[in-house]
């Protein structure tokens, strides 16, 4: 029987863990906070050398709040 290869749901994908710029170890996500419009702030920390940094990344454009325009003002041409 052929194997089915399906892509996992985006919410099930792991968050990309960057390498530490100081010691090149894998950094751990320690917090997510709201950022400016359309962005969220992700804070990473290195377990080896305790270096940390915060990165602004785009939010999921299809979440329930952002996708409300789909049922909003847009209408089919008449």
30 vs 52: CA distance, rounded Å: 9
The count of structural domains within the chain is: 1
The verdict on residue 46 lying in a domain is yes
Say if 77 falls within a structural domain.
no
| pLDDT band per the 50, 70, 90 thresholds, residue 52 | very high
Average pLDDT on 20-29 reads: 90
> Considering the domain boundaries, does residue 54 fall inside one?
yes
What distance in Å separates the CA atoms of residue 54 and residue 19, rounded to the nearest whole number?
13
Residue 56 lies in a domain: yes
Measured in residues, the chain has a length of 78
User: Is residue 10 domain-resident?
Assistant: no
pLDDT surpasses 90 at 44: yes
Residue 36: band (very low, low, confident or very high) from pLDDT cuts 50, 70, 90: confident
SS (H, E, C) the chain: CCCCCCCCCHHHCCCCCCECCCCCCEEEEEEEEECCCCEEEEEEEECCCCCEEEEEEECCCCCCCHHHHHHCCCCCCC
Q: What is the CATH number of the domain that holds 53?
A: 2.20.25
Residue 43 domain boundaries: 15-60
Tokens at 16, concatenated: 């990309």
pTM above 0.75, yes or no: no
- The verdict on residue 50 lying in a domain is yes
């Amino acid at each position: 029987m052929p194997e089915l290869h399906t892509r996992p749901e985006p919410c099930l994908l792991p968050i990309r863990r960057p390498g530490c710029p100081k010691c090149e170890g894998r950094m751990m996500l320690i917090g997510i906070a709201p950022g400016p419009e359309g962005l969220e702030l992700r804070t990473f920390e290195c377990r080896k050398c305790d270096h940390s940094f915060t990165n602004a990344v785009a939010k999921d454009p299809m979440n329930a709040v952002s996708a409300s325009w789909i049922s909003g003002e847009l209408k089919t041409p008449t």
